[in-house]
Structure 1
Amino acid sequence: MDIRNFSPRQYQTNIIKTCKEKNTLVCIPTGLGKTKIGILLSIERLKKFPETKIIVLTPTKPLANQIYNEFKECTTIEEKEIILLTGKISPNKRKDLYEKSKIIVATPQTIQEDIENSRINLSEFSLLIIDEAHRSREKFANTIVAKEYIKKSRHERILALTASPGSTKSKIEEICSNLNIEAIEIRSETDEDVISFVQNKEIEYTNVELQPELKNLNNLIKEVYKSKIEGIKNFNINKPASQITKVDLLNLQARLQKEVRNRNNAAFYGLFLTAQLLKLSYASETLETQGLKSLNDFLKKLETEETKSAKAIMKELNIIKCKNICNELLEKSIEHPKIEKLKEVILKTMKEKENPRIIVFATYRNTVENLVKLINELGIKTTKLVGQKEGLTQKQQIDAIESFNAGKYNCLVATSIGEEGIHIGEADIAIFYDNTPSGIRKIQRSGRVGRLKSGKIIFLITTGTKDSAYFWKSKRDEYKMKGILYKMKEKPELYLNQQKSLKEF
């Protein structure tokens, strides 16, 4: 057995030297062939331990389908020995497939269930590959499978793959600890053995400012928020009201929920207040980052909610006024300035390029729905890519990606499902309709462009709002993460598990 249809690049060969000897976390930019590194190591392990098998864990069915096809196309392993395993295959059949296969590609939840029901013998596996390894937090299925594998495998080797493991030292160390990582291999787009394979990405930052009408609306929401935030100080938050963040409110909510279970009556009022503040914060953020239509959708949702917090908000005079003005502005076709910029960029791209591929990223499903409708109305064939919880089955997700790749659609509007790993053809341009505070997600989004040819990334940023704050935070996170990883690579003895197990002797 061997590889086929590709030749290893120099950086892949360099990285594999480490992966052969140690459990390794590999962090390389999206589009530089993380799966190929998994394929190279799989062949090496199967040659060294011919009686063994390989497991590849990946978080979603579309990703599993993609990796399964790549193993079939890029190795000489018999196709019948490469298995795509899903929870829909009956448990008895899965047990039979484990015995007949060499490469198993599956979601971690499926493998976890089969471990718990003794359908899989982990001692037969000489390599565990964990794709999108940043999902390996303490109680995640990745971690549970890895810990069982470490206990039972006779020839333990773990390869963890990600473009972005986390922005803090503690988060990266947690993943390394959970997966028994002994070495880190990181490459940036400027590293010597990588630079010749990196496509040019043109980055454009487009700043817009909210119109006076939208600023006035936002002030109405913020006045209600300010009137309620002072009440939170009674619940041991030692910060000025202006510095209390959404994270502070979520942490307080979790603490108060515990106190409610312990029959603390005062905590009930705290929860009522916190729920209102979180909803008001979301309303303001929606207006700043998404637009009037999205705010209107949210206010309509609050009107139908049966919760006390929603009812209290909708009785506020400022919110009643806000709802009425919102409707009036929409009737006058006044929208967020990003909408006009987005239309301008897409129409310009359609004019300049023949049959271009455009990806638009937005955080929320209702924004995706609104944008798909808007772009289709421009006469541009557009479809959506959202998660299962947001309304698309995994089959529909795969169909959307394949239709976009085949050129049936020029534009794909996606939530976070489109950010992670999935090979969405070759986008000519990626537009960040909104900005994520997560460095991980910024890296994932940016990786959808410039894989095989040069591309362009456009950030739409609303100045003086959370949109702008999130943009700068994600940029800082990315810079910080790379610095931490290079330190960990150079001095693994300070950060990583260096104890050899008995299996290695």
Structure 2
Amino acid sequence: MRQVRADLLCILSTYVEDLRRLGCAIFCQDLTKLTHYQIHIARGNFRSGLRNNPSKSSLAGRVEGLLGVASTLSRAMQLLNQHGIRSTFSHIDSLRTDVMDPNVKSSRAKRDMVQGASFQGFYKRMADLVADPRFVGHPKLEHLIGILLEHFSREQALVTPTAPLPETDALETNRLCTRVIIFSQYRESVEEIVRALSEHEPLIRVMSFVGQSSGKSGKGLSQRQQLEIIRKFKSGNYNTLVATCIGEEGLDIGEVDLIVCYDSQGSPIRLLQ
């Protein structure tokens, strides 16, 4: 992960330096923490400067293109820091696909970046890593797996009878065990969490719970599918639900023993869920 971050930082630094030379300074000492807001401020300052110095108007198109690239790369850095390599790769792969699609309009700056050797090396490094289905793209995912394994193992020990039960009773006891909900902001992250936890079935029986809209990251769930997942979660077919923000409000799911917020929270609703 360190090498992937270093590759991304190198590409981002190049564009930030180009912007500085063109008179559009982005004030951020640590580019691994560059935010969309800081880029927005830099864009506003540059546009204000154009009104005072119209002679620089010929640079406007070039600067806007570079700012667009910087914004895309800062989003990738945010994903890498908070969600790991798989989510970052999904974001970068989507960008690359759009740029290479002749039917999708892309800026010259983005086309130049995607065709550059630095980007291609960065892309290949991530593609090779995520090709392994067991690859864990962020240390906190390993920590999450450990928390859930400990939680379910402890709960299973509490409900395990001293004398053997008939198979049907044993299954029912297992189904009535504890429930867990994990909230994550991005669908790509939800998919990665589900993929990682699925390796630990039947102790962890996991299912994703996302919104109805479909996007590049995959198809959404219809309302009927959402209700069916909740029904199975209540009945114990699943004991772990990994949800996007669609699951923040109004979920009638009964008792839940553990809620995990996979992201750092800026939403009071999700934090108080």
TM-score (norm 1): 0.40
Match of 2:71 in 1: 278
Among 225, 231, 234, the alignment partner of 2:12 is: 225
The reply on whether 1:425 has 2:254 as its aligned counterpart is yes
SS at 2:252's partner residue?
A: coil
Match of 1:247 in 2: 37
Query: Larger helix proportion, structure 1 or 2?
Result: 2
SS at 1:372's partner residue?
A: helix
CA distance in 2 between partners of 1:371 and 1:318 (Å):
29
Query: How far did residue 421 of structure 1 move?
Result: 4.0
Query: How far did residue 433 of structure 1 move?
Result: 1.9
Equivalent pair of 1:359/1:412 in contact (CA under 8 Å): yes
Among 339, 346, 363, the alignment partner of 2:185 is: 363
Which residues of 2 match residues 32-47 of structure 1 at below 5 A?
Answer: none
Runs of 4+ in 1 over 4 A off after TM superposition: 233-239, 251-257
- Deviation string 1:237-281 (CA, Å, 9 cap, x unpaired) is 666343763113246668999x9xxxx664322221111011111
Counterpart code for 1:432: C
Equivalent pair of 1:404/1:425 in contact (CA under 8 Å): no
Equivalent pair of 2:233/2:240 in contact (CA under 8 Å): yes
The reply on whether 1:337 has 2:139 as its aligned counterpart is yes
CA distance in 1 between partners of 2:76 and 2:39 (Å):
15
CA distance in 2 between partners of 1:302 and 1:321 (Å):
15
Match of 1:398 in 2: 227
Q: Does the C-alpha gap of structure 1 residues 341 and 392 become closer, same or farther in structure 2, counting only changes over 3 Å? A: same
Query: How far did residue 360 of structure 1 move?
Result: 1.1
Counterpart code for 1:343: I
Query: How far did residue 295 of structure 1 move?
Result: 2.2
CA distance in 2 between partners of 1:424 and 1:447 (Å):
16
SS at 1:412's partner residue?
A: strand
SS at 1:431's partner residue?
A: strand
The reply on whether 1:387 has 2:211 as its aligned counterpart is yes
Q: Does the C-alpha gap of structure 1 residues 381 and 318 become closer, same or farther in structure 2, counting only changes over 3 Å? A: same
Match of 1:315 in 2: 115
Q: Unmatched 5+ residue regions in structure 2?
A: 51-56, 100-105, 157-176, 215-219
Which residues of 2 match residues 128-139 of structure 1 at below 5 A?
Answer: none
Match of 1:434 in 2: 263
CA distance in 1 between partners of 2:222 and 2:23 (Å):
44
CA distance in 2 between partners of 1:422 and 1:273 (Å):
42
CA distance in 2 between partners of 1:239 and 1:270 (Å):
12
The reply on whether 1:445 has 2:247 as its aligned counterpart is no
Equivalent pair of 1:305/1:311 in contact (CA under 8 Å): no
CA distance in 1 between partners of 2:18 and 2:188 (Å):
32
RMSD: 3.0
CA distance in 2 between partners of 1:352 and 1:297 (Å):
35
Q: Does the C-alpha gap of structure 1 residues 251 and 417 become closer, same or farther in structure 2, counting only changes over 3 Å? A: farther
- Deviation string 1:437-484 (CA, Å, 9 cap, x unpaired) is x1xx2x322333xxxxxxxxxxxxxxxxxxxxxxxxxxxxxxxxxxxx
Equivalent pair of 1:385/1:413 in contact (CA under 8 Å): yes
Counterpart code for 2:211: G
Match of 1:375 in 2: 197
SS at 1:430's partner residue?
A: strand
Q: Does the C-alpha gap of structure 1 residues 245 and 369 become closer, same or farther in structure 2, counting only changes over 3 Å? A: closer
Q: Does the C-alpha gap of structure 1 residues 424 and 283 become closer, same or farther in structure 2, counting only changes over 3 Å? A: same
Counterpart code for 1:400: I
Q: Does the C-alpha gap of structure 1 residues 325 and 414 become closer, same or farther in structure 2, counting only changes over 3 Å? A: same
Q: Does the C-alpha gap of structure 1 residues 398 and 223 become closer, same or farther in structure 2, counting only changes over 3 Å? A: same
Q: Unmatched 5+ residue regions in structure 1?
A: 1-213, 449-505
Among 66, 84, 88, the alignment partner of 1:291 is: 84
Query: How far did residue 230 of structure 1 move?
Result: 3.3
Q: Does the C-alpha gap of structure 1 residues 402 and 270 become closer, same or farther in structure 2, counting only changes over 3 Å? A: farther
- Deviation string 1:320-352 (CA, Å, 9 cap, x unpaired) is 222222234444946321221121111111111
CA distance in 1 between partners of 2:91 and 2:152 (Å):
32
Q: Does the C-alpha gap of structure 1 residues 312 and 397 become closer, same or farther in structure 2, counting only changes over 3 Å? A: farther
- How many residue pairs match? The answer is 227
Among 295, 318, 326, the alignment partner of 2:126 is: 326
Query: How far did residue 412 of structure 1 move?
Result: 0.6
Q: Does the C-alpha gap of structure 1 residues 321 and 407 become closer, same or farther in structure 2, counting only changes over 3 Å? A: same
Counterpart code for 2:39: L
SS at 1:353's partner residue?
A: helix
SS at 1:305's partner residue?
A: helix
Equivalent pair of 2:35/2:74 in contact (CA under 8 Å): no
Q: Does the C-alpha gap of structure 1 residues 234 and 383 become closer, same or farther in structure 2, counting only changes over 3 Å? A: same
Query: How far did residue 410 of structure 1 move?
Result: 0.5
Equivalent pair of 1:362/1:434 in contact (CA under 8 Å): yes
Equivalent pair of 1:421/1:444 in contact (CA under 8 Å): no
